[in-house]
Amino acid sequence: MARVLFNNVVKRYNKSGQLSVDHFNLEIEDQEFMVLVGPSGCGKSTTLRMVAGLEQISSGDIYIGDQLVNDVPPKKRDIAMVFQNYALYPNMSIFENMAFGLRLRKTEKHVIESSVKSQSRTLEIEHLLERKPKQLSGGQRQRVALGRAILRTPQVFLMDEPLSNLDAKLRVQMREMIIELHRELATTMIYVTHDQTEAMTMGTRICVMKDGLIMQVDTPEVVYNRPVNRFVASFIGSPEMNFLQGTIMEKERSLYFSTKRFFMEIPYSMHEALRAGGNVDRSVTMGIRPENLQIVRELDEPPTDGTQITGIVTFSELMGADRYIHLDLGHEQKLVIRAPAFTKYADGTRLEVTMKSEFINFFHRETGNAIR
């Protein structure tokens, strides 16, 4: 059982180069499932490898439990790591691969035997113990790698994109398995992925990274509904959050979001933040997720005043249960609506839509930071 604490951790691979991890501050609580998520190259693996002791820290401190581990060799850190490419020993049987860590620790033979058996039963690989890794499918190999890590009973599990080599269906199964394992083992987990769906579904908290920096750390719900900036807003969620440009206007003590085509009243709960930041009469970016838009009706004619939000269907994508309907609002503004699959409109149809206004987010036009 252990928390993991990052204190101003910096990683610079080359003296002249950019920081791969830039003053990283994060406390991962004991038994937490923390997901590090972000685009390729943002420093996720580097961060994880510093916890594992596979990369030197340039400056700052990392603690596992109460121990400062900066100079502790990997073997002594009481962690287990699962990699994307499984990293099994090709010449050893599956049994030997799983038993390896226990043998190193001079565990008694019958204990090794029963532990490997019982763990392989849980992971449904019991029938594969005599085989060599190359005789297994990707999903089976990944389960062996997981089993090997679990048998080490580490204080902290580190996983670096462990599912990204698997096909979509298997990935979903393994995702569930890892969530269940975490529940059973109650061990701290740090899980790295570039896949926002994995992050959303697996993490008790998620840490969104960009260019070596932490953008936001919070529960999936908060990150999804209240992203701190436009980067997080677009990275998390699919299809992406819609962004519209407009101006905050005040009229008879009410605030409105106004574009060239329409204006809408802003919920009272957002007024204070908008006023405090001096955003009245300023141009801002508004964000609304595709599922928070609703189609009201089809229109034959363009509206004559600005009280309706309308647009022309440019194309639709059927996604099974959902249909993504793309609308052109004019003036280079676009919206994607997530509607049930049976909602069907021909391209060129003019639609009126409404927004669930409690779900809108405002961002500063220049910085992209959320207005709170």
Ligand X SMILES: Nc1ncnc2c1ncn2[C@@H]1O[C@H](COP(=O)(O)OP(=O)(O)O)[C@@H](O)[C@H]1O
Residues that bind Mg ion (CB under 5 A): 45
Please, which residue, 39 or 65, has the CB nearer to ligand X? 39
Instruction: Confirm or reject binding of residue 20 to ligand X (CB under 6 A).
Output: yes
Please, which residue, 38 or 147, has the CB nearer to ligand X? 38
Residue 148 contacts which entry, ligand X, Mg ion, none (Cβ below 5-8 A, type-dependent): none
DSSP sequence for 292-314: GEEEEEEESS--SSTTSEEEEEE
Q: Which residue is nearest to Mg ion (CB)?
A: 45
Please, which residue, 55 or 126, has the CB nearer to ligand X? 55
What are the structure tokens assigned to 254, written together?
């009410």
Residue 168: CB partners within 8 Å, gap ≥ 6?
none
Per rule CB under 6 A, count of chain residues that contact ligand X: 10
Please, which residue, 50 or 336, has the CB nearer to ligand X? 50
Give the interface segment with ligand X, choosing from 35-43, 232-240, 341-349, 362-370 (CB under 6 A). 35-43
Q: Which residues share a beta bridge with 193? A: 37
Instruction: Confirm or reject binding of residue 45 to ligand X (CB under 6 A).
Output: yes
Among 16, 40, 269, 304, binds ligand X (CB under 6 A): 40
Residue 331: CB partners within 8 Å, gap ≥ 6?
259, 260, 261
Give the interface segment with ligand X, choosing from 2-10, 40-48, 171-179, 313-321 (CB under 6 A). 40-48
Please, which residue, 47 or 292, has the CB nearer to Mg ion? 47
Instruction: Confirm or reject binding of residue 43 to ligand X (CB under 6 A).
Output: yes
Among 5, 37, 44, 207, binds ligand X (CB under 6 A): 44
| C-alpha 120: how far from chain center | 29
Please, which residue, 155 or 193, has the CB nearer to Mg ion? 193
The CA R_g of the chain, rounded to the nearest whole Å, is 25
Interatomic CA distance for residues 69 and 63, integer angstroms: 6
What are the structure tokens assigned to 105, written together?
């620790």
Give the interface segment with ligand X, choosing from 38-46, 67-75, 199-207, 357-365 (CB under 6 A). 38-46
Strands (E), the chain: 4-11, 21-28, 33-37, 59-64, 67-68, 79-82, 156-160, 188-193, 205-210, 213-218, 242-251, 254-258, 263-265, 283-288, 293-299, 309-318, 322-330, 333-340, 350-355, 361-364
| Binding footprint of ligand X on the chain (CB under 6 A) | 13, 20, 38, 40-46
